[in-house]
Chain A
C-alpha cells in the first residue's frame, strides 16, 4: 500500500519501501489502482464517505497476499477500523480478511525476520507515532529494523507524547497542533540527533514543517528511506 500521503508529498517513501522489501527477497506488487485507506473521512466523522473509498481499497487488495504499509497510521486504520466500519455491511467478511492481512512495514520485517542490509548510519531520533504505539501496540519493530541496519538511534524525551498532527486536527486547531509540533521538534533536537525519523509520514511532515517555520534545525526521513541505502 503506497498511502495517499506518500503519493501526494513523498513518492520516495513508497519506492524506498519497495526496494527495502525486494532486497530481502520479497516479491512486491504495487497495485496501480489503489487510492486511500479513507482515514481522513472516517476520523472527520463522515463514515459513509469513508466506506465509499474503503470499498475500493478492499477490492484492490482482495488478496491473498499480506499487505505491507509504510505507515503505522494507515495500517492501524485498516486493522482496527475496517471491521467496525463494515459491521453489518455486505463487505464485512472481506474487510475483516483485509484487516487480518495488513501489516506495517517494520512489523513485517520483524515478523518474517528479514534483514535488508546496512542502511544509513544516523544518528537519528525515532518518533513513535500514536497509531503505531497505541493502535498497533508497537514500539519495538522500528527500533529493531534500524538497529539491524546499523543506524544509531538517540531517544528523545517523552516519546509517548503526541506530536500534534492528528490528521484533520492539524487544520482545525492549527495553534494547538503547531505548539505540540514545536515541543516535539525541540525534543528531537535535544536528543542530540539532527534527524527525526518515523514510520509515519504525516507526523514527519508536521514536525519538520513546524521546525522549518520556527528555525529549528532538524532533518527528517521516513524509516524506509533510512533502511534503503
Chain B
C-alpha cells in the first residue's frame, strides 16, 4: 500500500492531477495551514465558510483565521434552512470546507465520507470547495482508495463522494463548461 511520506512523489502526482482536473492545490506545513486556507478563500471572494465538524479544522485554527479575514464562519451541522444551504438565499459566495478521508494521486480525486460531523453536501451545495488534506492520506490508485474505504470490518459509510475537480457540464455544444451544479472551484490544501 503506497501512502505519502515527507518529500513524496505522490504529492507531486496529486498536484499534477488536480491541475488536469482544473482544480488547484498547495502544500503547507501544519502551522501555516489555517492561514493559507483562509487566504485562499479571501482571495476567492468567499463571504461565508461552512466548515466540516472535524478535529483537524480546530487543530489548524481555521475558524479564527477566517474571522480575521472577515469571513463569516459556520460549522457543520449548520442548522440552516434548505434554501439558504443551497445558496438560494443568503450570501452566494459560500465555501464548503471538507476534510477528505483520503485522496487518489493518479486521478486527482478526493474521497469525502459522510458522517455526523461531515455533511455529504458540504462541497456540492456551495459555490467554492476547499479540502484540507493531510499528506499521509494520499494513495496512488482508485483501487487502493476503495479498498481502504470499504475494508473488511469497517462499516460502509452512508455516502462516499469521489470528487475529481469542479463541476463540469458538456451538454451545450459538447464543450466542457464549469459549474452546472456543484462547486465552481476546488482548492486542496495539502498539509505535511
User: A–B direct touch, CB within 8 Å, in complex?
Assistant: no
